Amino acid sequence: MVKVKVYSTPTCPYCVQAKEYLKSKGVEYEEVDVATDEAGRNEMVEKSGQMGVPVILIGDEYIVGFDRGKIDELLSK
């Protein structure tokens, strides 16, 4: 299965939705709490160019925001 990483914060409702969606599909993922993990936050901004969350890395492609269609598309590759 493809590697998935979710950059999120505990107070972001879209982050919670994205993680719940991945769980509902049985997808294991690595979570990076960018509110407390400075290195993770810097990595997210450097790799995606984004400050907002969630940022979801599926394989080698980044999704900014909670986009079910794009998540499904990348997971099906």
Q: pLDDT, tens digit, for every residue of 28-73?
A: 999 999 999 999 999 999 999 999 999 999 999 999 999 999 999 9
Looking at residue 49, what is its pLDDT? 93
The position carrying tokens 């925001």 is 65
Reply yes or no on whether the pLDDT at 1 is more than 80: no
C-alpha to C-alpha distance for 69 and 66, rounded to whole angstroms: 9
Q: Which one is the CATH code of 4-75: 3.40.30.10, 3.40.190.10, 3.40.50.880, 3.30.450.20?
A: 3.40.30.10
What pLDDT score does 77 carry?
86
* Residue 11, phi-psi category: left (phi > 0), alpha (psi -120 to 50), beta (remainder): alpha
